[in-house]
Structure 1
Amino acid sequence: MRKFLYIILTCTFLSSCSEYQKALKTTDIGTKFKEGEKQYDAGKFEKANKLFAAIVPSYRGKPQAEKLMYLYSKTFYEMEEWYLASYQFERFVGAYPNSEKLEEASFLGAKSAYNLAPVYTKEQHETRDALDKLQAFINTYPESEYIPEANELVKELDFKLEKKAFEIAKQYNAIAGYTGDYNAPIKAMEDFIFNFPASQYREEAFFIKFDSAYNLAINSVLYKRQERLEEAITHYLAFKKSYSGSEYMERANQMYEEIQSELQNYTTKS
C-alpha cells in the first residue's frame, strides 16, 4: 500500500514538474499564464514569478494585463523581494487607477517600502520614503481595513526616526568633553524636544541639555562664565519644572549647587 501511494505521489510530482517545464519552454503566452496562476495558487511564487516575467511584455495593453500585473507584483511581495514589490505595486497603481485591487496594491506597495527601512543606526532615507507612502495611503483610504496596520507601521517608523535623532544628539554630548563644543548638544537636544514633544526620551533630553549647559559654563573662560552659569540655571529650572521626580534629579541638584557656589565668586549687580 505504501509503495503504491509512493508511486502515485511520485507520478503526481513528476507530472507537475513536467507541466511547469513545458510551460517554461513554450512560446504560447496563454499556457504560461495558466501555469503561472496554478503555481501561484499552490504557493510556489518563485515559479509563478518566472513564468509571469516571461509574458509581461506580451500582455501589455491586453484585457488580462491588469490581473497579470497584480499577480506578478504579489509574487515579489510573497518572495519578500521588497524593493521589486514596492516598485511593481507602484507601477500597478499608476497603470490601473480603477482596479478593484487598487487599495490592496497601494497598501502592499507601502508595506514593502516599510520592510526596506533599515535599523535606526543607518541612514534613514528609506524610512522617510516608507513614511511618505504609508501616509499617502492613510490619507487616500481613511476607511480601509488596512488602516490599523498602516498606523502601527507609521508608529514604528516614527519611533525609528525619533531614536536616530536622539542618539545623534546624545552623541554630541558624549564627545563634547573631547571637542569642548557643548553648544552643539544643547542645540541638538532643543531641536529634538521641539520635533518630538511626546518622546519617551524627552526627560533624558532635558537633563542632557542641562548637563551640557552646566559643562559649558563650568569650563568657560572667566569673562563668559557668569553669563553661562546663569544660563545653565534656566536649563536646570526647566528640567526641574517638568521632571521634579526624575531619576536624574539628584545629579541635577548637585550640579545646581555647584553652579550656585561658582556664582558666589561674582558680585551681584544692583
Structure 2
Amino acid sequence: MSRTALQIRTIGLFTLAVLLLTSCGEYQKALKDTDISKKYEVAEKLYTEGSFKKANRLLEQIAPQFVGKPQGERVMFFLADSYFQIENYNFAGYQFERFLKSYPKSDKAEEAGFLGAKSYYMLSPRYSLDQTDTDKALTKLQLFINANPESEFLAEANEMAQELTTKKEKKAFEIAKQFVKLGKYFTLDYNISALAALDNFISDHPGSQFREEAFYLRVEAATNLAVNSTYSKKEERLEEAEEMYQALLRSYPETRYAEKAADTNEKLQKEKANFEALKNELTR
C-alpha cells in the first residue's frame, strides 16, 4: 500500500471514529434529555440510519407522550418497526396492532398490517412443537391477504401462509405416521388410532402434499389391524383393509407407493385365504 493510500485510509478511519463517537454522545445525551422534541429528533435520525436498537430505546421513552399529537403516527410506526428490526417479534406484532387500531387510514396501514402478520410468522416454531403461534400467524396473514388483494406484499404473504399451512399439515401427518409405526409392535390400539388420525388428515387436508402417503399408510395400518384381529372382528377388518387398498388405487392410479402397496395387499390376500379356510373348517 502506498503512503498516500495509507494516509487516505487513516483519515477515513479517523473520520468514521469521530462520527461514531459523536453519534454515541448524541444518543447518550438524548437518553437523559427531558426535551421530548430533542429525543424525537435523535430517535428519527438513528432510525433512518439503521441504528434500530438505540432508536427503539428512545422511542419507547417518548411514545406515550406523542399520543394524539401530529407526530404520534410516525413515532408509533417507528417504534413498531424498530422492534421488528431488532427481532423482538412479540412486541413488534403487538405494536403494529396498536398502530392499526390508532391509525387505520394511515398511508402506512398496509405495511403495518403486513409486518404485523410477518412478526407472528417469525414466531412460528418448528412443526413438532405447539402451533398456537402458527395459528395466530395464519389468521393474521389471511386477514391481510383478504384486505389487501392488490398489495405489493401479497406474494410474500401468500408464500408465508402456504409455508405455515404445510407446517401444520406436517404436524398432523407426523402424529398419524407415528401411530402407524407403533402399530407394527402394539397392533390393536395404535392401528385403530392410526386409521382415525389418517382419515381425519385426508378429510381435513384435501390438497396436502402428504395426502398420497396418508392413503398408503391407511392400507398398512388397516392390514396390520386386520391380520392381528380376533376371529370375531377379522372378516370385517379384512374387508376394510381391502377397501383402503382400492381407495389408494382409485385416488392415485400411478401412485409411487404401488410396489409397497402391492406387497401389503399380497399379505392381506394370504390372510383372507387363511381366514376363509378356518371359517370353512369351523362351519363343517
Same fold (TM over 0.5): yes
- Is 1:87 equivalent to 2:94 in the alignment? yes
Kindly provide the amino acid, as one letter, of the partner of residue 207 in structure 1. Y
Aligned to 1:235: 244
CA distance in 2, matches of 1:208, 1:13: 62
CA displacement at 1:255 relative to structure 2: 2.8
CA distance in 2, matches of 1:245, 1:5: 67
- Is 1:64 equivalent to 2:64 in the alignment? no
Aligned to 1:24: 31
CA distance in 2, matches of 1:116, 1:108: 12
- Is 1:159 equivalent to 2:159 in the alignment? no
1:203-253 C-alpha deviation (Å, 9 max, x unpaired): 211111011111111001112111111111111111122234334322322
CA distance in 2, matches of 1:225, 1:172: 20
- Is 1:189 equivalent to 2:193 in the alignment? no
Kindly provide the amino acid, as one letter, of the partner of residue 55 in structure 1. I
CA displacement at 1:189 relative to structure 2: 0.7
Question: Relative to 1, partners in 2 of residues 1:224 and 1:71: Cα closer, same or farther, differing over 3 Å?
Answer: same
Kindly provide the amino acid, as one letter, of the partner of residue 42 in structure 2. E
CA displacement at 1:4 relative to structure 2: 4.8
Structure 2 counterpart SS, 1:189: helix
1:176-203 C-alpha deviation (Å, 9 max, x unpaired): 2343311111111111111111222112
Question: Relative to 1, partners in 2 of residues 1:261 and 1:133: Cα closer, same or farther, differing over 3 Å?
Answer: same
Question: 1:145-224 alignment to 2 at 5 Å?
Answer: 145-179=152-186, 180-181=188-189, 182-224=191-233
CA distance in 1, matches of 2:16, 2:210: 59
Q: TM-score, normalised by structure 2?
A: 0.89
Kindly provide the amino acid, as one letter, of the partner of residue 37 in structure 1. E
Aligned to 1:127: 134
Aligned to 2:21: 14
Report how many residues are paired.
269
- Is 1:40 equivalent to 2:39 in the alignment? no
Query: 2:267 aligned to 243, 251, 258, which one?
Result: 258
CA displacement at 1:56 relative to structure 2: 1.3
Kindly provide the amino acid, as one letter, of the partner of residue 163 in structure 1. K
- Is 1:249 equivalent to 2:258 in the alignment? yes
CA distance in 2, matches of 1:244, 1:157: 29
**Greater mean alpha carbon deviation, residues 238-247 or residues 161-170:** 238-247
CA distance in 1, matches of 2:16, 2:85: 26
Identity over the aligned pairs, expressed in percent? 46
Question: Relative to 1, partners in 2 of residues 1:230 and 1:34: Cα closer, same or farther, differing over 3 Å?
Answer: same
Kindly provide the amino acid, as one letter, of the partner of residue 57 in structure 1. P
| C-alpha contact (below 8 Å) 2:219/2:241 kept by paired residues | yes
Structure 2 counterpart SS, 1:100: coil
Aligned to 1:138: 145
The runs of 5 or more residues in structure 1 that have no matched partner are: none
RMSD: 1.8
Structure 2 counterpart SS, 1:252: helix
Kindly provide the amino acid, as one letter, of the partner of residue 222 in structure 2. A
CA displacement at 1:174 relative to structure 2: 1.1
Kindly provide the amino acid, as one letter, of the partner of residue 89 in structure 1. F
Question: Relative to 1, partners in 2 of residues 1:15 and 1:263: Cα closer, same or farther, differing over 3 Å?
Answer: closer
Kindly provide the amino acid, as one letter, of the partner of residue 221 in structure 2. S
Kindly provide the amino acid, as one letter, of the partner of residue 189 in structure 1. L
1:72-100 C-alpha deviation (Å, 9 max, x unpaired): 11101111111111110011001111211
CA displacement at 1:5 relative to structure 2: 4.7
Aligned to 2:3: none
